[in-house]
Amino acid sequence: MRSRLGVFYAVMINELKIISREPGGLVLLIILPYFIAGGMAFIASFFTKITSNVFIRQFVGFEVLMLSMIMVQTGARFLNEERNGGRLEFLLASPTSMYVILLGTSMVMIIVDIGAFTIASLPLLYLNYGLIGMIRLTIALLLLFIGLLPLYGLGLLMSGIVIKLKDADTIMNIVTPILTILSGATYPIYVLPWWIKDLIYVLPMYITFSSMYMEIMGNTGLSLILNLILSAIIYLLLGVTAYASFEKEIKRGGV
């Protein structure tokens, strides 16, 4: 167990080193939600009054949406890059399980994402809610952590599909807009028909966004948090099972 943790730590440090040597993406992650939420608020201000709550809602929504996409894509993109770089065979031929490698890689993304969210939202929440906003932000970050776990499960499922079909770009270009539309994080979902709403509730993005937003507003929803934990368990199980089946299949057909 100790050695497995050691390997897990090594995978994380390795991924962190690689990310830190390409810092452009991180900067984008921090400033992009301001641009998008700010731009939307600017346009909307021409026909309605924009309150700080509306801006925060949009800001959190876009941040959750971006982080969700990154989490879902991390595993698949990682495997695709490893295959193209000729490293996948060496990872598969090592005694370390691919789950450890994928979890380590995704965990770094989770930490980086949470860090980016913290940096991006800190000034906004402090200006609006003062110190109490910082406490709410801490709880919201914990909820974000839980919310990223089911997305890791979805990411594992995507990873399996990518290594089976050997085409990360096409798959991601299909999956990303579908998940974006069904995120429910950047628009009011109450206007939608029931069947689309149900679909949005089943996916983890809306529950993550909603529980975080409610927490920041000071209205913690226990049922939302329970839903979030349940969703983490279900999607992780789904992802692990699907990936195991796909990995076995590639060992029959070749990397």
Partner 1 sequence: MNIAIEAHELRKRFISYERTGFLSKRKIVIEALRGVSFGIKWGEIYGLLGPNGAGKTTTVKILTTLLIPDDGYAIINGYDVVKEAKAVRKIIGLVLYPDKGFYSRLSGYENLVYFGRLYGLDKSTAELRARELMDVVGLKEAMNRPYEEYSLGMRARLAIARALIHDPPVLFLDEPTIGLDPISAREVRELVRKLRREGKAILFTSHNLWEVEEVCDRIGIINNGLMIIEGSPKDIKDMLGLRYTVEVEVQINGRIEVLREETVNPADAIRKLISEAEARGKVGKIRINEPSLEEAFIRVIKSEK
The answer to whether 23 contacts partner 1 (rule: CB under 8 A) is no
Nearer to partner 1, 104 or 204 (CB): 104
| C-alpha pair distances (Å), 105 with each of 20, 69, 174, 209, 215 | 13, 15, 23, 23, 28
Q: Name the segment binding partner 1 (CB under 8 A); options: 67-75, 84-92, 147-155, 226-234.
A: 84-92
Q: Are 227 and 140 in contact (CB under 8 A)?
A: no
CA gap 113, 65 in Å, rounded: 11
Q: Residues 139-158 vs partner 1: string with x where CB under 8 A?
A: --------------------
Count of beta carbons in the 10 Å neighbourhood of residue 179 = 19
217 contacts partner 1 (rule: CB under 8 A)? no
> What tokens appear for 33 in the block?
């939600």
**Per-residue binder mask for partner 1 (CB under 8 A), 174-203, x = binder:** ------------------------------
Estimate the crossing angle of helix 2-20 against helix 98-165, to 10 degrees.
Answer: 60
24 binds partner 1 (CB under 8 A): no
What residues contact 132, with CB distance under 8 A and at least 6 apart?
A: 218
Task: For partner 1, give the closer residue by CB, 81 or 169.
Answer: 81
Among 66, 70, 72, 91, interactor with partner 1 by CB under 8 A: 91
CB of 251: closest distance to partner 1 in angstroms?
A: 5
